[in-house]
Amino acid sequence: MLKPNMIGENRLKRVLINDKKEFSPELTKILKSELYEMFDNYLSVKRESMDLKVVINGKGGYDVVITFNANYIKSYGIVV
Amino acid sequence: MARKIVITSGKGGVGKTTLCASLGAKLSLGGQRVLLVDVDIGLNNLDVVMGVENKVVFDLVDVIEGRCRPKQALIQDIFNPTLFVMPSVHSYNHSVVTAENVKMVLSKLEDFFDYILLDCPAGIDAPFQRAIYSADEAIVVVTPHISSLRDADKVINLLSSSNIKKSYLVINRVRGDLIMSKEIMSVEQISELLKIDLLGVIPEDDEITTSLVIGNNMQGKSPSSYAYKLIAENLHNGSQNIYDCTCRYRGLWGFFRKNIRRRV
Ligand SMILES: Nc1ncnc2c1ncn2[C@@H]1O[C@H](COP(=O)(O)OP(=O)(O)OP(=O)(O)O)[C@@H](O)[C@H]1O
Ligand SMILES: [Mg+2]
């Protein structure tokens, strides 16, 4: 059984993380669009599958998680 | 030139005005020239906490509106000759009090003081922005409650993207007996989560309430008076002596004290 001080700490951590993860929708849109452009040079990205999550990582910074589906890898010449 | 420090919190009623008055008193006892400015316009209380409410002739709004010179709105403390208050008792006409106006008033006084402490209103809206605008440093006051800590975290984020160069944390109303029995978060747990430098810890102390009733501004030898003294020293010298709220509850006497406190 956790002591009340640890329960308090965990609840506070959760609240602080939730408060901060709100990334403005405008910024998310811009980032998604720029990332799409970049990845699309190499992969055939399904645009609507693209997702971007920004979460506080407990070290005071952010973890940015990008997920998307791609149909195939584009051929861009021979890499030696 | 004075160090200009705003005392803020986010959540209301956590002890900003009390800290402002008591820290001012302790700094001035150490020989510093201190000015306390009530920027909590409309919900001002610094005059009452300092026990000077009957001496107010002019206030911050009068200075801004040109009815008097800045020095005419200063009230000298009864106990400490180097401690002054600029109250704000006019609750009307907030709109004349802009951040720029406050800054201009302070710029005319900063050469005469070592410290200018600004008592900030609760919240993070325009009155908060107005209060922090003239300061270079900030003290964020919290109590060990999740709601207070959450609001403080928002304030700390706002301060980090403002003109404030350095922010400190003060944890107020700490009950050592509850920390010992692990019923509330410890000082270390709190400061680690909020990630700003801890300036001090103040115990929950009935003496604060009594001292406010009689208006003697923490002149006694209570635990909180000592805690305020440590905060003043830390702020002035850069030392890091933090009041230990749990020390009264250690050992045999501490055991009895803890149990008595729980039962009354
Ligand atoms: N360490 C303490 N122990 C006991 N009581 C305290 C302590 N600190 C402050 N108080 C009491 O808490 C109440 C609120 O304090 P204060 O007015 O300083 O808060 P505030 O943050 O300035 O409030 P506001 O946001 O309304 O301006 C007062 O009655 C004061 O006596
Ligand atoms: Mg106040």
**Rounded distance from Cα B46 to ligand 2 centre (Å):** 7
List, chain by chain if needed, residues with CB within 6 Å of any ligand 1 atom: B 9, 12-18, 40, 45, 122, 172-173, 202, 204-205, 208-209, 212, 224
A41 CA distance to ligand 1 middle (Å): 60
Closest-CA residue to B171 (of B257, B242, B247, B250): B242
Which residue in the set B149, B182, B193 is minimally distant from A4, CB to CB? Answer: B182
Chain A residue with Cα closest to B149: A12
Beta strands in chain B (DSSP E): 3-8, 34-38, 75-76, 83-86, 115-119, 137-142, 166-174, 197-203
Range of the domain at A48: 22-80
Checking B248-252 for CB contacts under 8 A at 24+ apart, the result is B248/B176, B248/B223, B249/B176, B249/B177, B249/B180, B250/B180
Examine residue A4 and state whether it is found in any structural domain, yes or no: no
The answer to whether position A32 is within a domain reads yes
Whether A34 maps to a domain, the answer reads yes
Contact by Cβ (8 Å): B122, B10: yes
Ligand having the closest approach to the CA of B223 = 1
Asked whether residue A7 is domain-assigned, the answer is no
Among candidates A31, A32, A62, which has minimal Cα distance to B157?
Answer: A62
For domain B3-263, the CATH architecture is 3-Layer(aba) Sandwich (3.40)
Is residue A26 in a domain?
yes
Number of structural domains chain A divides into: 1
The reply to whether residue B150 touches residue A12, judged by beta carbons under 8 angstroms, is: yes
Q: Is residue A48 part of a domain?
A: yes
Residue A59 covered by a domain: yes
pLDDT by residue, tens only, chain B of 264 residues: 899 999 999 899 999 999 999 999 999 999 999 999 999 988 888 999 999 999 999 999 999 999 999 999 999 998 899 999 999 987 666 677 899 999 999 999 999 999 999 999 999 988 999 999 999 999 999 999 999 999 999 999 889 888 999 999 999 999 999 999 899 999 999 999 999 999 999 999 988 887 766 656 556 688 999 999 999 999 999 999 999 999 877 877 777 777 776 666
The distance of B182 to chain A (nearest Cα, Å) reads: 5
Q: Which amino acid is at B230?
A: L
Reduced to 3 states (helix: H, G, I; strand: E, B; else coil), residue B204 is: coil
Residue contact B157–A20, C-beta within 8 A: yes
Distance CA B191, CA B242 (A): 12
How far is residue A50's CA from residue A32's CA, in Å, rounded to a whole number? 7
Q: Whose CA is nearest to atom 16 of ligand 1?
A: B15
> Which residues are CB-contacts of B145 (< 8 A; sequence separation ≥ 6)?
none
Give a yes or no: residue A44 inside a domain: yes
Comparing CA positions, the residue from B35, B87, B99, B83 lying closest to residue B62 is: B87
Number of A:B CB contacts under 8 A? Answer: 37
Domain boundaries, chain B: 3-263
Q: How far apart are CA B52 and CA B77, in angstroms?
A: 7
CA distance to partner chain B, nearest, from residue A33 (Å): 27
Cβ neighbours around B127 below 10 Å, total: 20
pTM over 0.80: yes
